[in-house]
Structure 1
């Protein structure tokens, strides 16, 4: 019985192996050679490799086995993971045009007004014109500078709140930083903090999670509608859309009425534009951009500003503060330079910052972004056509993910102490985050590079300076070290809030 069963089985295995070898031997030299990848299961492909893990870490470990250009199928979707400086350059520079579009995710259709925003609009003439418009009118250095009074106000409100808590009461720095960024973006976009701001921010946070591209319905394009209905994803996205759309329409109507009243009273030019909604409404009236700037596009652009400028900036700040608390020598050096530069001032303004040109502060921020990029795996791209990268063929319609977190910690580029917080590694100025250094990609590179990173950096610089100038910081009683555990999910949020005690160093303002 045993011979009757095992002998045919053995012969079958040998026959299949020989046929596979023959197939490989007869394969034309020009036939596609897909990137290597881990083992897969029927139907779900390699989805099991990303269950109950931190994806950026799990994909880094898989790349160590299968190489810096790796492919695994998630459901019906081939996903190519880029994990080296060299392969990142190939995707983001050499073949940037081919990888410059986005996958059409369900969240972008329902909440993003059918993919009309900057983030998820497919590449093409409309996207290029929209990006040019926003770069000139919304995301320019001049526009960022125009909101400096808002950043200064919010940082000082935070300083006074910390001062009021007293030196013995632990302060939730995580909440503080997220509150600062939320308030700054709210005031810059709408002109004021709104009564329904919490509802709007909750909706924005929810859509970010549903727009990751890793939700099951988005991984089975042929079954997206069915699966989204069964899992409740469609219902959730429509609820979010109703909330966001109602609030944004209310704001647009208010700002249009206020704008018209100003124009009637004789106010002209830039004095009419107090916030980003005002700017967009004015551009809508002006026209002449090669496309119609509809209310839906205005709403989608404002939603992008919130999605990209709140949670990510707050997270970057709390990680920077966490690293400073873990490295007292760096904290002492930075605090010393800040206090020497602004000695005697009751408040540090952005004008003060620009005049002082604190180089070490910039190094500290770079190092924090290297170790904790706001989006550890950059927003997914999609290949338009099949393309050869590093000797392998990336298929058309493949989802392409750059593991910026893994590249930023690779000892090949950063030395044997790659995981340590050492701002001095940036002293020579050879590496920067403006898109030309492919070992350092906190904001991406190429056509799809994050266009609004200057907003986040301005808030980060002033907030860190404000807190380090006004207070000496310590861990709460009984806490020996900073917990650096990351929260589950696609981001790199702290698992637990950063709680610190603040002893005033600069006297309260009169």
Structure 2
């Protein structure tokens, strides 16, 4: 009897085990997006060594498809390289991809992810974004700072004029892009950051930036207090820092707008509103010099519109409505988006995208550079032809997924109006006063 029970129990265990194996075999496996071949430990990182990542990823997408997955170290990286896949990430599944990976640079330089760019999605980010949209990035506020942009462009024009008629002028702004090794091995980020020296470098940057920003805040607070004491309150909110100090004193935003968060916002505005516009202007000037007919047409319209003026202001620009200037800027942004790879997002949960499974905690980027040069959407995609935008159906407001210089969805760059205002004025200044 005991032997019979023993055999029955053994058969039951074997039957259950067999059923589990059959169930597992019949269960549909996750179909991950295709991607290039991988090596142990480093995964696909060797495909991105000593190359421009956006160009390398564009070439890989032509082989593996518009939605592909690489493994960089221990980090799965999903790359969207078509209008359709970009729409799926930025619109259809925007909620699932609306957060940011916690990159080391955002922690150290970005005041523990306190800025708009790197802050993970959540209550703080939503309130911060609402505050910036209403008080800092509104069209009225952008317009109020126009005298600062005019002063800066005038200084640049004076520098170029002082260089002489035939002297080469360097308009370059140094920017960097890439993938940092410590961020690609999350369990080992702290150790790798110390071994590679990345942590020390980031702290050096942070300390330098922090001291400069603190000095600016202290200086503006002193000037603001003097104006209030003297009763000169008409121009008390003269610049961005003044506005943030006033908001700090006002309060009532659902979070503490302390000095660290003010610094994080200023850093965002400086990086997003000046670095990107300077890069875009440099590329626009390069393309104009490579296409003299386009330059001649634009320069002729600018000089005709402002003939006889010693200085061109933003008010002059608005009154003139230089439509071709806007077409040239759009075409420059198509070929040379300020952020060729949109700032990385991270999937909150696993989801289905274009028939593939995207695991939770995957890093997701949209290759705006590849989409802007895809012959599927653009005739003569590699050519500089501003006239292609004449019909006006494609714009950079986030609704045209074949044209994403500023992104789209919840994480779309909120300050692109700042950059565009600076770029327009700077280009007009360079072309009105000088022949290149």
TM-score by length of 1: 0.79
TM-superposed deviation, 1:27? 4.5
1:234 aligns with 2:199: yes
Match of 1:425 in 2: 388
Match of 2:209 in 1: 244
1:475-503, Cα deviation, whole Å (9 max, x unpaired): xxxxxxxxxxxxxxxxxxxxxxxxxxxxx
CA distance in 2, matches of 1:307, 1:139: 14
- SS of residue in 1 equivalent to 2:376: helix
1:401 to 355, 361, 365: 365
Of 326-335 and 395-404, deviating more is 326-335
1:343-384, Cα deviation, whole Å (9 max, x unpaired): 222221111110110110000000000000001001101111
TM-superposed deviation, 1:234? 1.2
CA distance in 2, matches of 1:282, 1:384: 36
Match of 2:416 in 1: 453
- SS of residue in 2 equivalent to 1:118: coil
Match of 2:276 in 1: 312
CA distance in 2, matches of 1:165, 1:256: 37
1:291 aligns with 2:255: yes
Of 220-229 and 302-311, deviating more is 302-311
Match of 1:89 in 2: 87
1:384 aligns with 2:337: no
1:318-352, Cα deviation, whole Å (9 max, x unpaired): 11011111111111111111122112222211111
CA distance in 2, matches of 1:131, 1:53: 34
Match of 2:111 in 1: 113
CA distance in 2, matches of 1:27, 1:215: 40
2:44 to 46, 49, 65: 46
Q: How does 1:334-483 map to 2 (within 5 A)?
A: 334-415=298-379, 417-473=380-436
1:264 aligns with 2:257: no
TM-score by length of 2: 0.92
Match of 1:123 in 2: 121
TM-superposed deviation, 1:213? 7.1
8 Å Cα contact 1:309-1:455 kept in structure 2: yes
TM-superposed deviation, 1:262? 2.1
CA distance 1:326–1:213, shift in 2 (3 Å): closer
CA distance in 2, matches of 1:260, 1:164: 38
CA RMSD of aligned residues (A): 1.8
TM-superposed deviation, 1:53? 1.2
CA distance in 2, matches of 1:231, 1:265: 53
- SS of residue in 2 equivalent to 1:456: helix
- SS of residue in 2 equivalent to 1:71: strand
CA distance in 1, matches of 2:431, 2:291: 14
1:54-73, Cα deviation, whole Å (9 max, x unpaired): 11111111111111010010
8 Å Cα contact 1:45-1:74 kept in structure 2: yes
8 Å Cα contact 2:53-2:178 kept in structure 1: no
8 Å Cα contact 1:213-1:219 kept in structure 2: no
Q: How does 1:51-62 map to 2 (within 5 A)?
A: 51-62=49-60
Of 223-232 and 139-148, deviating more is 139-148
CA distance in 2, matches of 1:256, 1:153: 22
8 Å Cα contact 1:34-1:392 kept in structure 2: yes
- SS of residue in 1 equivalent to 2:357: strand
CA distance in 1, matches of 2:156, 2:266: 25
TM-superposed deviation, 1:48? 0.5
8 Å Cα contact 1:334-1:360 kept in structure 2: yes
Match of 1:328 in 2: 292
8 Å Cα contact 2:145-2:238 kept in structure 1: no
CA distance in 1, matches of 2:163, 2:371: 40
Unaligned runs of 5+ in 1: 1-21, 179-204, 474-510
> How many residues were matched structurally?
416
CA distance in 2, matches of 1:467, 1:214: 34
8 Å Cα contact 1:46-1:72 kept in structure 2: yes
Unaligned runs of 5+ in 2: 1-20
CA distance in 2, matches of 1:152, 1:246: 27
TM-superposed deviation, 1:257? 2.4
Q: Which runs of 4+ in 1 moved over 3 A?
A: none
CA distance in 1, matches of 2:377, 2:25: 40
TM-superposed deviation, 1:107? 1.2
Of 132-141 and 74-83, deviating more is 132-141
